[in-house]
Structure 1
Amino acid sequence: MRRFPFFASRYALVLLLGVNLALLGISIYLGLKSANQMKEIVKEDFNQQQLVLAKYTASLLEQDINFLKRELSTLNFSPSIQYLEPLSWANRMRATLASVREEGVVEILRISPNGDRAYQMDSRGVDQITTGSFKDAPYLAWAGKPEHKGQVLVMPVSTQIPHYVGRLITVMAVPTYEMSVDETHPHPSGAFSGVLAFYIDAHALAKKFTQGIRSGKTGYAWIMNSDGIFLNHPERDFVGKNAFTVRKERMPAISFDAINQIQREKMLAGKEGSGAYISGWHRGMAGEIQKLIAYAPVRLEDQNLVQENQRQESWSVAVAAPASEVEGVIHTLYTRQFYLQVIIGLVVLSGTIVMLNFRYEQQFSSSLEAEVNRQKEMLKKSEARYQGLVENAADLIYSVDADGRLLSINRYAANLFATARSSVKPATVGGVIEGTFQEFVGRTLYDIFNQKSADFHMEWLREVKETGKVRSKRHPVSIGDQEFWFSTSIVGIKDEHGEPFAYEIISRNITGRKAIEDRMINMEKLASIGTLAAGVAHEINNPMTVILGFTEHLLEKTESLPEIHETLQVIEDEGLRCKKIVENILTFARIPQVSETSAEVTGLLEKTLAVVKNTLLTKKIRLETSLAPSLPRVKGDPQELQQVFINLINNAADAMKGGGVLKVATTASLDGKRVAIEFTDTGAGIPREAQAKIFDPFFTTKETGKGTGLGLSMSYGIITKFGGNIIFTSYPADEYPEKHGTTFTVYLPIISGPEAEAAGQEPAAPEETAVIS
């Protein structure tokens, strides 16, 4: 102090006071400014989280709307609906209603083309036919325009729908044309036959997707349509009211210009975004309350309808929460910091600036650390809640980087991948293998999917990166030896520069639903083939009658010529077999009755092999037979069994390109109840991936145009009709180059009791072996 006497003077105290007051004022100003900036940053971040929640809810609602459109279109394809068949239209509607009732559908309506009759099915499953004038229905006039064929109309929500006055009802309609084929309508006219519509309770549908949403501690979600009407809102008396007037009616003293502007310029325009506004209440609290809001549109119509009507019918999902929930944490932190600054300034003025600053700095650091730890704990809990949602979801949710390497995966996806990659098949009881997070994280898509499926996903990732768009696709996926169908969405996760550095993949396993769709398509194919087959059979029947007549005449003339007579006898037998086939075709669409006739297998096989012997020789196929001549008679129609044997022999011949060996053997089972007929070839074998579907209708491994896929399916039906069975073993050439080939074994039950005595069976003789080359 002696070297610096100024600091001992009274002016030094004034100077220090001024300097510290200035520093204190500057620090307070900067602190308040920093706090306000931090509040705005946190608000924006919170609103972005709300926007993600709003967009996710909107996408779920859009998927539900699209599901209803698909169900409406599927129902519209039904012949029962197109032709209003008296015995089946109600049952068809009732089946569809069972799958869409939970989506808010309260009625299914089918109106005739001239609008004089309506076929209705209400939410209770009660059907009725109403006669009257429905010509004024706007969707009937819309459906009558040819350019709307195949389109789905979603009308604005209305409270004036007959029988539903006062309820928020939207109508989803599709034009109906007579396009489908069934037994009673083999030649559809293609004419307009009216309109099919769903009556949907918009409030129930909106409530389904918003009632469980909670943003922050007390935030909630609501939905409004393009007319500004609340479809759902936590305030029950707001539902069905105009969003621009109902708030003002409840609390006239508060200005709602901010929220009205957001609704008018953003939400009704079908835009997404976020903002803030002043409200007069929130979950029981009253007064001016600032709220944060994020909103996203729900598209209801396709682009063609938008261009035509010059207005897009859409809804908007909003998620709102009080700003005080966000500001509370920041306010507490910066209030504490403000008091510390004041204390530090006062300590400096008292002459103990260094000691007290050091002490309070430590105190500030410890309190800040505690606050940080508390925030970390809260963040951990929030992450745990989010992780719980993801882990317990019934969808496959996993993230990958740009190289397709897994960064995270939920339990459902890990279990499905682990099960599919193992030897456990989906049909096995309890056949689910628990997959772990560590088992898959770090692996690539190529380690999980096969080459084709992995390439598909990688191409999709590149598409998302280039376009920045989120798209949903339905696609097949191969995992291990199993085939699946997924409905997948891929979202790019962007860094601070807006570039995607990772991708979130959400897939739903729709394998079961796809199998049902494929089965329905096959049923439609079979119905069409049945109709065509009847016409073809009639055309074949006439010349066959002529052929058999002349053959019978020639048989009478050539009794003295054994060689010609034997040849004509073969022609007559084969003609009768063709006639039997024609009769089968004529009864193709009807349920066949089981024939109680019997057949002698050895003689039938010898007769069949005599027919195909020349064909096998021309294909350089050596025939080896081992037939037991005195086998018991079996249940079955000889003509149909011969058709099965020829199908199996032809399939074996087609499999042996360039020649081979065909072995045919018959034996009686050890229990004396069945006869086994084996057809063994040395062909290329059946590919392993095709073996599970070899008996499916329309499935074939042959080249296009060389097979219908019905031979083995019809053969299986014939054998099982008589209580028998067909099994096969196959060794594909690419896996078993030394012993490739296929063996089909037909088992037929032996007739017993009075039937056996009537047939005059003799005991089985030792087997005889013959070789034809």
Structure 2
Amino acid sequence: MRRPHPVRRMVPLVGIVATVLLLIFAFVLGLVSFGKMRQVVTEEFNGQQLVLAQNLAALIQQDLDFLRRELAVLNLSPSLQGGASPALVNRLKVTLASIQEGELLEIRSVSPSGREAVVLDGSGVARIEPGPFNDDPCFLWALVAANRGRILVDDSPRSLRERYGGRPLLTMATPHYRAATAGVGSRRQDEFSGVLLFVLDASAIASRFTDHARSGSTGYAWVLDERGTFLAHPMSSFVGKNAFEVRPRLNPAIGFEGINAIMRDRMLTGQEGTGSYTSGWHRQAVGPIHKLIGFCPVHVDPERPGRRWSVAVVAPVSEVHGLVASLFMRQFFMQAAIVLAILAGGISLFRMERRWTRLKKQREREVNLSSRLASLGMLSAGVAHEINNPIAIILGFTDVLLETAPPGSQAHEHLKIIERQALACKTIVENLGRFARIPEQRDETADLNEEVRRVLAMVQSTLLTEKIECRADLQDGLPRAMGDPQGLQQVLLNLITNARGAMKARGGTLTVRTYRVDDRVAVAVRDTGHGIRRQDLGRIFDPFFTTKAPGEGTGLGLSISHGIVEKTGGRITVESQHEDDVGAARSGATFTVLLPVVGDGS
């Protein structure tokens, strides 16, 4: 018996050593890139926190703008002309009902002298409150004629804050003017008739959107006003307290220089951005915790740039680092599994080397045999064609001579022998033809609804990840259709793949519908993608024609699908509306496959 070469015996050992070295190298390389990966992911995460802070700031800004519009609309109401009247109270109640519950604490209509005010509280109860109010900053501001039509956003008086438990309040004020009645031949200016005010709960406005905000699994949001007072915070004891003072009182052992610098130098100056700092807690966790922060300003009063809030979104760095570590370990184990699989495959290939050699030789013999059979088949077809014509002539003349030769005569017997031998030649020629002819496949049938369900089950998860809604409208009781089930699945997969590509950029809806049309069954695949241009509709079934970017398609899918459908005796049609012609909302394409129905005798 022949022994293996010594070098060949060393191959498995060398492969194992190389694999171990490759694993060590991959691990070291992973450790080197771990720090960079953690930095990139941390920056990306903090950038997402900034986007969340911007969205929250925009929502708060929209709420404040809505309140300003409501105040301006109320100021135009004729009900304000008659002083303290039932019409005025009813109009104030209408405004109160249109504003988010809890945000509007009071609506005040101060008389032009400032001696009294009609007050409607948040529960809808009206009262007359005596003044004086003419020394209130909002009233003094409203007396200035240049402020007509403007809205002032300012802090509420201390008396109001004490009435509502010291919570942060905000006042929106606008002067009201009554149209004066002009005498004959004279023109008079409109008269100042008082001040209209909204007393707002600043904390309710800020926390309406931030209470449910989440960054990662445990991150949250909080809001500061321009003096550093918390307007919203997950810890309710912080609301209404100064952020620079309340944190050290809760945990004096922690230095808050980092977050104090961010608040003082960036947040309170109206900047937006990201950063990091060390805190003494995070929800139920206590101790030094490194956090990431993204922040964005809210302009409370567009006419006074100094009146601003700042929305912050924070989350512990440990969430990001834990995620990166888990991804790193998962990647390392995947690499190790791949390397081990390669090693196992290499060993298997080495052990099967001889077997592959034998299979290769066997395959060569089969190829040579197939080539000879193919050549013989071509030769048989040619011989059959060339011999068939002379035999037909021989049989024809034999029949003519048999009619003239008397039965039982020697000539008649000789002609019968010729006929029998010619028929034997004809049989040999027919056998040669059958040998040379390629056998045709047997007819197959398919359940159209069942094939649609199988294909949709295969692509359902992919459609979900690409934000494509799939709708199936399958008519019950459809008869079986002519066609190979596997070929029909290939057609459906090609059509759905093209639909996915058309909706990949913005998602959409994929609708697959089956129905019967006379003696055919049909399946229609419709998408809401960008559609097919009109000039391309006549070429989409041509081989190698594609509208996709280079490298994204071969242009064979629709051509192959067309061939499969045509082979069954069916046909495939297309209707399309391109987004350049009808707009993105109405664009899309519909491919319809029509297949013949299996007859009752099939």
TM-score of the superposition, structure 2-length normalised?
A: 0.52
- Does 2:410 correspond to 1:322? no
Question: Aligned equivalents of 1:246 and 1:269: distance in 2?
Answer: 21
- The answer (yes or no) to whether the contact 2:274–2:294 under 8 Å persists in 1 is yes
What residue in structure 2 maps to residue 571 of structure 1? none
Q: CA deviation at 1:194?
A: 1.9
- The answer (yes or no) to whether the contact 2:84–2:118 under 8 Å persists in 1 is no
Question: Aligned equivalents of 2:125 and 2:67: distance in 1?
Answer: 20
- The answer (yes or no) to whether the contact 2:109–2:197 under 8 Å persists in 1 is yes
What residue in structure 1 maps to residue 97 of structure 2? 98
Q: What does the per-residue CA deviation read over 1:159-189, in whole Å, with 9 as the maximum and x for residues that have no partner?
A: 652522412211111111124999xxxx984
Q: CA deviation at 1:76?
A: 0.6
Closer/same/farther in 2, CA of residues 344 and 407 from structure 1, 3 Å limit: closer
Question: Aligned equivalents of 1:378 and 1:238: distance in 2?
Answer: 46
What residue in structure 1 maps to residue 37 of structure 2? 38
Closer/same/farther in 2, CA of residues 262 and 131 from structure 1, 3 Å limit: same
- The answer (yes or no) to whether the contact 1:407–1:442 under 8 Å persists in 2 is no
Question: Aligned equivalents of 2:234 and 2:331: distance in 1?
Answer: 38
Question: Aligned equivalents of 2:276 and 2:68: distance in 1?
Answer: 35
Q: CA deviation at 1:155?
A: 0.9
Q: What does the per-residue CA deviation read over 1:366-397, in whole Å, with 9 as the maximum and x for residues that have no partner?
A: xxxxxxxxxxx99999997x99xxxxxxxxxx
Question: Aligned equivalents of 1:232 and 1:438: distance in 2?
Answer: 49
Q: CA deviation at 1:90?
A: 1.1
- The answer (yes or no) to whether the contact 1:221–1:319 under 8 Å persists in 2 is yes
Q: What does the per-residue CA deviation read over 1:43-71, in whole Å, with 9 as the maximum and x for residues that have no partner?
A: 12122222222111111111111110010
- Does 2:176 correspond to 1:176? yes
Closer/same/farther in 2, CA of residues 80 and 409 from structure 1, 3 Å limit: farther
Question: Aligned equivalents of 2:80 and 2:100: distance in 1?
Answer: 19
- The answer (yes or no) to whether the contact 1:78–1:180 under 8 Å persists in 2 is no
- Does 2:366 correspond to 1:278? no
Q: What is the letter of the counterpart of residue 267 of structure 2?
A: M
Question: Aligned equivalents of 2:192 and 2:223: distance in 1?
Answer: 36
Q: CA deviation at 1:408?
A: 3.6
Question: Aligned equivalents of 1:382 and 1:86: distance in 2?
Answer: 61
Closer/same/farther in 2, CA of residues 106 and 34 from structure 1, 3 Å limit: same
Closer/same/farther in 2, CA of residues 439 and 410 from structure 1, 3 Å limit: closer
Question: Aligned equivalents of 1:321 and 1:337: distance in 2?
Answer: 25
Question: Aligned equivalents of 1:335 and 1:408: distance in 2?
Answer: 34
**1:686-765 → structure 2 map (5 Å cutoff):** none
Q: CA deviation at 1:79?
A: 2.0
* C-alpha RMSD of the superposition: 4.6
- Does 2:47 correspond to 1:57? no
Question: Aligned equivalents of 2:44 and 2:64: distance in 1?
Answer: 30
Q: CA deviation at 1:31?
A: 3.0
Q: CA deviation at 1:128?
A: 1.3
Q: CA deviation at 1:333?
A: 3.2
Question: Aligned equivalents of 1:406 and 1:341: distance in 2?
Answer: 30
Question: Aligned equivalents of 1:166 and 1:442: distance in 2?
Answer: 58
- The answer (yes or no) to whether the contact 1:82–1:176 under 8 Å persists in 2 is no
Question: Aligned equivalents of 2:156 and 2:29: distance in 1?
Answer: 52
Closer/same/farther in 2, CA of residues 441 and 74 from structure 1, 3 Å limit: farther
Q: What is the letter of the counterpart of residue 118 of structure 2?
A: Y
* Greater alpha carbon shift after TM alignment, 149-158 vs 214-223: 149-158
What residue in structure 2 maps to residue 442 of structure 1? 530
Q: What is the letter of the counterpart of residue 72 of structure 2?
A: S
- The answer (yes or no) to whether the contact 1:83–1:178 under 8 Å persists in 2 is no
Closer/same/farther in 2, CA of residues 116 and 270 from structure 1, 3 Å limit: same
Q: CA deviation at 1:355?
A: 5.1
Question: Aligned equivalents of 2:33 and 2:217: distance in 1?
Answer: 26
Q: What is the letter of the counterpart of residue 210 of structure 1?
A: T
Q: What is the letter of the counterpart of residue 291 of structure 1?
A: K
Answer with 1 or 2: which has the greater Rg: 2
What residue in structure 1 maps to residue 440 of structure 2? none
- The answer (yes or no) to whether the contact 1:168–1:203 under 8 Å persists in 2 is yes
What residue in structure 2 maps to residue 7 of structure 1? none
Q: CA deviation at 1:443?
A: 7.1
Q: CA deviation at 1:75?
A: 0.6
- Does 2:138 correspond to 1:139? yes
Closer/same/farther in 2, CA of residues 334 and 85 from structure 1, 3 Å limit: closer
- The answer (yes or no) to whether the contact 1:117–1:131 under 8 Å persists in 2 is yes
- The answer (yes or no) to whether the contact 1:223–1:318 under 8 Å persists in 2 is yes
Q: What is the letter of the counterpart of residue 90 of structure 1?
A: V
What residue in structure 2 maps to residue 763 of structure 1? none
Secondary structure of 1:228's counterpart equals coil
Q: What is the letter of the counterpart of residue 318 of structure 1?
A: A
Question: Aligned equivalents of 2:345 and 2:504: distance in 1?
Answer: 50
**1:541-552 → structure 2 map (5 Å cutoff):** none
**1:391-430 → structure 2 map (5 Å cutoff):** 408=506
Q: What does the per-residue CA deviation read over 1:515-545, in whole Å, with 9 as the maximum and x for residues that have no partner?
A: xxxxxxxxxxxxxxxxxxxxxxxxxxxxxxx
Question: Aligned equivalents of 2:40 and 2:212: distance in 1?
Answer: 27
What residue in structure 1 maps to residue 249 of structure 2? 249
**1:260-659 → structure 2 map (5 Å cutoff):** 260-302=260-302, 305-306=303-304, 311-335=305-329, 408=506, 440-442=528-530
Q: CA deviation at 1:84?
A: 1.9
Q: CA deviation at 1:34?
A: 1.2
Secondary structure of 2:62's counterpart equals helix
- The answer (yes or no) to whether the contact 1:111–1:117 under 8 Å persists in 2 is yes
Q: What is the letter of the counterpart of residue 140 of structure 1?
A: F
Q: What is the letter of the counterpart of residue 317 of structure 1?
A: V
Secondary structure of 1:73's counterpart equals helix
Closer/same/farther in 2, CA of residues 192 and 240 from structure 1, 3 Å limit: same
- The answer (yes or no) to whether the contact 2:54–2:295 under 8 Å persists in 1 is yes
Q: What is the letter of the counterpart of residue 315 of structure 1?
A: W
Closer/same/farther in 2, CA of residues 93 and 260 from structure 1, 3 Å limit: same
Secondary structure of 1:245's counterpart equals helix
Identity of aligned residues (%): 41
- The answer (yes or no) to whether the contact 1:292–1:321 under 8 Å persists in 2 is yes
Secondary structure of 1:244's counterpart equals helix
Question: Aligned equivalents of 1:76 and 1:202: distance in 2?
Answer: 22
Secondary structure of 2:309's counterpart equals strand
Q: What does the per-residue CA deviation read over 1:547-583, in whole Å, with 9 as the maximum and x for residues that have no partner?
A: xxxxxxxxxxxxxxxxxxxxxxxxxxxxxxxxxxxxx
Closer/same/farther in 2, CA of residues 189 and 224 from structure 1, 3 Å limit: same
Secondary structure of 2:327's counterpart equals helix
Q: CA deviation at 1:113?
A: 2.5
- The answer (yes or no) to whether the contact 2:508–2:529 under 8 Å persists in 1 is no
Paired residue total: 364
Closer/same/farther in 2, CA of residues 210 and 344 from structure 1, 3 Å limit: closer
Question: Aligned equivalents of 1:234 and 1:48: distance in 2?
Answer: 22
- The answer (yes or no) to whether the contact 1:159–1:169 under 8 Å persists in 2 is no
Closer/same/farther in 2, CA of residues 64 and 133 from structure 1, 3 Å limit: same
- The answer (yes or no) to whether the contact 1:119–1:127 under 8 Å persists in 2 is yes
Q: CA deviation at 1:86?
A: 2.5
Q: Which has the higher contact order (CA 8 A, sep 6+)?
A: 2
What residue in structure 1 maps to residue 389 of structure 2? none
